Amino acid sequence: MLNVLVVDDSLTIRKWIVETLEDDPRFKVVGEAVNGKEAIHLAEKLRPDVITMDMMMPEMTGLSATEYIMAHCPTRILIVSASTNRGEVMKTYDALAAGAISVFEKPGNITLAGEEWSRQLIEEILLISRVPVIRHIKGTRILKQAPAPQPANHYKVVALGASTGGPQTLLGIFKKIPADFPLPILCVLHISPNFAHTIAEWFSMNCELDVKFAKGGEAINNGERGKVYMAPADYHLEIESGRLNLTRSEPVHFCRPSVDVLFQSVAKSYKDQAIAVLLTGMGRDGAAGMKSLYDAHGFTMAQNEESCVIFGMPAEAIKLGAAKQILSDADIPSELLLLSGYKK
């Protein structure tokens, strides 16, 4: 049985979550809190398995509570937040960066939410309940196959893919990459479409790179430095002949955007001149695409199990023999700098 602490200043929302969980024998609601201070107190006292955390609350916000809890009594946190307020969405990203595992949209009208919302909430809590609470990042570096020596500036593009745990992992990587990084970076991140519309701006605000959403037909200028092009919500991102292409073709592995779609297009366009990095996430999106790039003699990296929030997507790539290197997220930036031929 999973012990859950429910945190929300709205009595209606809080009671709805409590009743949803108490109707399921797999859960026990061990406490309720109406602000961040109460959440911290109850988290330390009750040591729940999972906390559902609202963002905007009186006295202390959900962000402040998340930062404290993850520093002093690490607990699996699911952010339950509204996506209509820009400020609240930004705080949600900050909470994910602080260690919250995932985000779930709060219904605009609780009377219309119904059983489907309750079912999805239960599935999300069950999912994050399997995520390790404390991560011991060993930072070990495993070389599966020694990379063939390449001349400086051989590589032309970097492609990144991430899912659950991706916002905090990507931000950690972006923070270690300088503003004059010489290669364009293409990125697919699985995140709820309702929370995706400002995440590129959030990344840009918190690192030196220029992060923006890709536009269809946009040309990638290899002379530009420090550019990150993200797939917009609900669009696949591809590249062909140096131009970005956005499509709404069928989801791949239930995902749109799909990491596989990006990696396969990069493999086709750049072959051995591309670098692909597959990061934390549930499922297997990206594994087949990384194998395509590996077979085209591109350079491929997978995040290691110790540093992943969920070791799903990288594990699938490793099983396929698609990863030339298996690195912690802490080691990936320095490897990218080395491969890019970056010089201060």
Active site residues: 163, 190, 285
Position 61: which residue type?
A: T
What distance separates the 2 farthest-apart alpha carbons in the chain?
A: 62
Report d(CA 230, CA 103) in Å as an integer.
Answer: 19
Q: Count Cα atoms within 13 angstroms, Cβ side, for 225.
A: 14
Contact residues for 123 (Cβ-Cβ < 8 A; gap 6+): none
Burial of 75 (0-12, 13-18, 19+ CB in 10 A): buried
**In the structure encoding, which two tokens stand for residue 16, read together?**
């709805």
Q: Are 120 and 105 in contact (CB under 8 A)?
A: no
**Between the CA of residue 189 and those of 50, 78, 271, 314, 341, what are the distances in Å?**
24, 18, 22, 14, 26
Lateral strand order in the sheet of 141-143: 141-143, 325-327, 299-303, 274-278, 157-162, 185-189, 227-230, 210-213
According to DSSP, the β-strands at 141-143 and 76-81 are unpaired
Contact residues for 47 (Cβ-Cβ < 8 A; gap 6+): 3, 73, 75
Q: Count Cα atoms within 13 angstroms, Cβ side, for 83.
A: 14
Contact residues for 173 (Cβ-Cβ < 8 A; gap 6+): 160, 329, 332, 333, 336
Report d(CA 65, CA 238) in Å as an integer.
Answer: 39
Alpha helices in 153-220 (DSSP H): 166-175, 199-206
